[in-house]
Structure 1
């Protein structure tokens, strides 16, 4: 068996098409038997929180098997570590392996009821109902996370008498009170979000605190929708367990049992976790505290929607053209100037994929001398220019993408926010609106424009005033909204909330719109409730 697995791994990494795989595998097996060499595992040892997962791509006419691929684990997979080979990630794609859009599921012109769906729709439905058979295993539909829905992906499980996909869904929590189809699917997917297990928190170490609610014109608004608190002591433990050695994030996006949302650090709290009713989505006995994301430096970019709305609100076109020229000039400079290159990598990339380039630049390597460094910088530049051309993605230096949090101190008034952002390690803030006391952190003061993507209505862009609040100085790389007013500013921004949404925050005075539209009404429509229990079908 080990010879076969090794041969299949080699076949997967072939750079040419294999037209006779059976004959190729037989030849490889004979070579291995004759050589009698010791086979080393091609798999790389993984860090905690990472797993190998097999993947299947389903096209309208074919099925492609690939993997195993490295992926971030989730709560369900961690609960069944011995069953990892029975989990499968499936994606529906077109024949070019690109995203399959919903428009192909229905005919452009339909004359009869029988023609409401295409053969591609039947292909997808058949796969969902009948599953995928690989060898002696039949993989059945398990569930999908919210992010997988956007990519037409899902999780499947190879059921057996001792453990079925239905057993796994039942072990995740009690979903019997949920009678809405969309909500049921979302709650099932809650446990499948990519996350890291920080630690287990006993139920006796949490408290339930009331939501901040206000009624206006017969509508009840929840200012604290999706956000709770975490003690500073527990936050440090979580940060350490998640690999943060230099700093402790101010907020974490979490899953705890059936709770979903964000917990922000409260230095005055002695209770490990303070959760709210708005965070509870279903009942679960799990005590695992899973971390999905955390507050951190994230660069700020304009896109087509933001540009359209800012233009509607009075920002002239020459301002966007100027920002575009500045962004292109910054990308051009990275190929010749090491300092400009390091600055651009620090400001425009928040991920770890550019860390090697940053280290090379800090060690004194220059792009015009080191070929590898130059090639990688050219790739970085080309990638950003492509996004600029295809998505109008313009980098804004005086802005950030920030996780939203709530002012638990009650200091901020309606129309105010608190914004404190971390600076680049190589430079100071260039904007005068940042009071940079320590050289590492900057508190923004003055007008800021706040939005939540996607934003389609002019009222989705809110102009607020950033103020300095000493009691909130522990909140870094977050936009802190007030708990006062007639309506939450978060709800005004595309009807969002505080359960992990990331906001566009910009204090560039050239991009502060002179006009304001009233926010749109995002009161949800009544739910469609079924009179029976939900099933996966």
Structure 2
């Protein structure tokens, strides 16, 4: 029986008491400078670009606050910088009146904070000591801080709740044009250039800040307390080493206007080939290379490399440096060990240039291997004409606050959104070429990314004609249609036959086949082959696909479609296109069911006992905890083996079975899997349910299922039988915000459906389709969770589902590129679904999912494809402790189910990689006792260096540790903000597979002319030597010494940040051969 959701009155205490420290760190740890200098630290020389004299007086408006200060905000882990300069405001650009910036501790270079008591004393009668001591604080940074400026027309901003919240002027984020004096605003400044000019370049080249303080003894005591707190942060997270060792002194070079122009002026790159030029521009944009060194770099490249491809290889290798100190030394050193041609990629990947546009910079790196799409495959010989552009903050995704929207409404020509408009309207200049926007797929739009093309290389009109005729007059839908060909897919090698269309099954305004149709058996098999499927997955029951202007899911029905046939429905066809290539996104395959925080909150509110959740959670903790210990003791359980197989594609179980369970790298991989699984339990309440599955949904084409029935037949692998679920079940879909989003159904067996495995078949009978009741879902690729554990099913009370009918959208006569550009801007401005989810979860904890505020949030979340608005009054002032707010909000200790589960996982899981030095270089005698050939070692060293160099770049790019790349498991890391952890699995796996393929090919080429007197195969001989270079003390220490000497010769960057030493994964490029060695009798 369906029950209408009750209305719950708010509790007498509206907000739980906050337990967070409400003290103001910025006021407590604030220091007033005598002078501040900004510039660049390269080696032992500080090149001072700007030297400013700030006002030191107390700010009259705020007791205890200075007009200029450097403050340590330990609660938020930020440096707060304020400098009210002595110059009149009329002579200063907006971003410098005053300097108002925040620098995340994450963005400080390794050992980047130096605090130097110079010993100089200055007489001062106001000091209790009669004098002040001089202290110089220097901070080296990896990325610019977030700059702010006063909003030009704050009087136009709407009031909040009828009154202004503060008598301070509103501020907004500063952008590049705010550093320039003049009347040109950000939006109207023309194309964005890769290398900024004049004062706009300050944020890029101010990679070091230097403050001079005159402090009392008491102030020095406070500063020493700050040093102690910074050391404590490093102890808690060894990756964050902020304090420099000792008190290094630097030479200071002050630049006059002429010297500044020579060193930081716009370089002349005329005549430099596009691929090379973009890499040079990227080095400058990252702050690795000074513009004044580009001419020398170009000459050194021509001297050390003939082919352009090798020049590019050298330039790509330079992205691992923090700063380039001496171009003339580092280029020849890199050229000596790098391979002349780039490694071959995987078949489904293409090299794409990605550009990040931040409020103050344009950041590029080397072309990256990314999954291909229809457009990149069509123009695979013109990839220089395609860019993937992403709009981000300096170290994070672009978060839009209320004041951002208000400022943009009043002044759309200034601020961060104006910078987005500037790029979309005027384009960006990369490598001397102008790129303009085309389209963005739905998933890319969520990442605030969009594709740009160079119309000189790719004709934009011809591209649009090739894609198809998009006639949609709803701008958001038109944008989504245009983005379809840019979705990551793999092409299916099959000449398909487009069969007779099928009608959609519709009733009462609901479509029961929305996004789903049928195809033949051969289509399924070829799609699986395109995705390199193995075993059971070579014959899937359904695929998610793209075909010209159509998208959705195709399920296999032999009686309805011929082997090579695809039959579409109207609900799948988004626009007309002549393209007939079938592109597959993914296959239907078995996945175990997991609960999440939303499911748990709704289920417990709907009657499922909290104790059942606690018991299930405790079972999961016990199952996961101690994985590494059990592996090392050779006491693995079936659950351990299953966990490893579920989490990682790396052959970890095979290596453990072969006896490598004590190896440092194997221990690290086990530790990572255990850590990530426990982190998922703690921070996501991701609890595995054995009596449940998570599968893609399809429609019952046979019409045999009655209303409220589903069919679910699952098969885990080739070695287990297929199982048909029967009886009462729970069905749900993420996200689930409304109490009616978790529903009951009856799983039945039907002979007509037994050919379908690892899918959930929904009935096409009744008044309303079940997927629509589950958070407004459909069948164009949605996954659903089915649970048949009767402890859950029997205790769940089912409530009336929400009405997910969307309001009528606004249409226009004809959609132009201008409309699409502004739609992209508005998407970013209104990208608040994540905020709605979090607010709903917090208010559900404070009140209940049935509370009117939570129901209102469910309604806001359901307005798909239109601008959602989150009213300020709905936002909680305090947050439950399980929501991981990193100290940014006040929190309280939740007493509801999610708070109880959160605190069951203690302490917070962390991963620390093994150090082979500390472990005493442990080796496996089954391998280490085999002979070594010095000649082969020397041949393999350049290959090892190239492998570790590539791995180091991935570590920097994704902010991961070495073992995370082979495992494909990214542990929760608050330092990694721009990319979601769960989205890193595939990029890490692809990157590692490329490194392995390249390294194996190069290693075998190195030994092809050598004959060994041994029973080992050449591959096994190479594996044995790779093992020596990775683990055996004699060879590792010699290798490390060679690297140290090479680093001194190159005068490169921050070695500690680039990678831990020594690295431990090289040997496992030949894992099969190592297993073979220990499993054969060689005597």
Structure 1 residue 17 corresponds to structure 2 residue 17: no
With 241-250 and 414-423 compared, the bigger mean Cα shift is at 241-250
TM norm structure 2: 0.45
Task: Confirm or deny: 8 A CA contact 2:695 2:760 kept in the other structure.
Answer: yes
Aligned-CA RMSD value: 2.5
Report how far residue 129 of structure 1 moved.
2.1
Match of 2:807 among 513, 516, 525: 525
Whole-angstrom CA distance in 2 between matches of 1:345 and 1:118: 55
Is residue 102 of structure 1 aligned with residue 400 of structure 2?
A: yes
Question: How far did residue 359 of structure 1 move?
Answer: 2.8
Q: Which structure has the bigger radius of gyration?
A: 2
Report how far residue 397 of structure 1 moved. Answer: 2.1
Contact 1:141/1:165 (8 A) holds in 2: no
Matched, 1:83 2:382: yes
Distance apart, 1:142 and its partner CA: 2.0
> Does residue 259 in structure 1 map to residue 259 in structure 2?
no
How far residue 66 of structure 1 moved from its aligned partner, in angstroms, is 1.4
Per-residue displacement from partner, 1:409-435 (whole Å, max 9, x unpaired)?
111111111111122678xxxxxxxxx
Q: Determine the C-alpha separation between the residues in 2 that align with 1:283 and 1:125.
A: 30
Q: State the Cα distance separating 1:339 from its structure 2 match.
A: 7.2
2:180 aligned residue: none
Using the TM superposition, give the Cα deviation of residue 145 of structure 1 relative to its aligned residue in structure 2, in angstroms: 1.1
Preserved contact between residue 3 and residue 29 of structure 1 (Cα < 8 Å): no
1:477 aligns with 758
Q: How does 1:236-251 map to 2 (within 5 A)?
A: 236-246=525-535, 247-251=538-542
Q: 1:224 aligns with which of 465, 489, 513?
A: 513
Structure 1 window deviating more from structure 2 (266-275 vs 517-526): it is 266-275
Which of 431, 436, 440 is the matching residue for 1:140?
436
Deviations 1:455-477 (A, max 9, x none): 11111111111111222122111
Partner of 1:431: none
- Closer, same or farther in 2 for the Cα pair 1:184/1:31, shift >3 Å? same
CA distance in 2, matches of 1:116, 1:30: 49
User: Would you say the 8 A contact 2:545–2:584 is kept in 1?
Assistant: yes
Asked if 1:306 corresponds to 2:588, the answer is no
- The residue that corresponds to 2:652 in the other structure is 357
In the aligned structure 2, how far is the partner of 1:387 from the partner of 1:151?
Answer: 22
Q: Deviations over 1:333-365 (max 9, x none)?
A: 4220567566345357646x433213324x343
Residues 449, 505 of structure 1: 8 Å contact kept: yes
Partner of 2:492: 198
Task: Indicate the residue corresponding to 2:949 in structure 1.
Answer: none
Q: Unaligned regions of 5+ residues in structure 2, if any? A: 1-307, 822-1083
For 2:342, the equivalent position in structure 1 comes to 42
1:404–1:498 Cα contact (<8 Å) kept: yes
2:627 maps to 1:327: no
In 1, the alpha carbon distance for the partners of 2:528 and 2:685 equals 35
CA displacement at 1:509 relative to structure 2: 2.1
In the alignment, the residues of structure 1 paired with residue 717 and residue 726 of structure 2 have an alpha-carbon distance, to the nearest angstrom, of: 19
Higher helix share: 2
CA distance in 1, matches of 2:314, 2:402: 38
Q: Distance in 1 between matches of 2:660 and 2:721?
A: 26
Q: How does 1:332-481 map to 2 (within 5 A)?
A: 332-335=625-628, 336-337=630-631, 340=636, 343-344=639-640, 346=642, 350=646, 353-361=648-656, 363-365=657-659, 367=661, 369-423=662-716, 439-481=720-762
TM-score norm. by structure 1 comes to: 0.87
- Partner SS, residue 653 of structure 2: helix
Q: What displacement does 1:454 show?
A: 1.0
Q: Provide the rounded CA distance (Å) in 1 between the counterparts of 2:652 and 2:645.
A: 11
Contact 2:440 / 2:486 at 8 angstroms: preserved in 1?
yes
Larger strand share, 1 or 2: 1
**CA distance, structure 2, for counterparts of residue 235 and residue 473 of structure 1:** 17
Q: 1:32 to 1:405 in 2, by over 3 A?
A: closer
Secondary structure of the 2:620 match is: helix
CA distance in 2: counterparts of 1:118 and 1:321, whole angstroms: 51
Which residue is equivalent to 1:165? 460
SS state at 1:397 partner: strand
Deviations 1:235-271 (A, max 9, x none): 2233234322423111000111211110001122343
Structure-1 residue corresponding to 2:1056:
none
Hey, what does 1:183 align to over in structure 2?
Answer: 477
Q: Distance in 1 between matches of 2:700 and 2:684?
A: 34
Distance 1:166 1:205, change over 3 A: closer
Compute the displacement of 1:57 (Å).
1.8
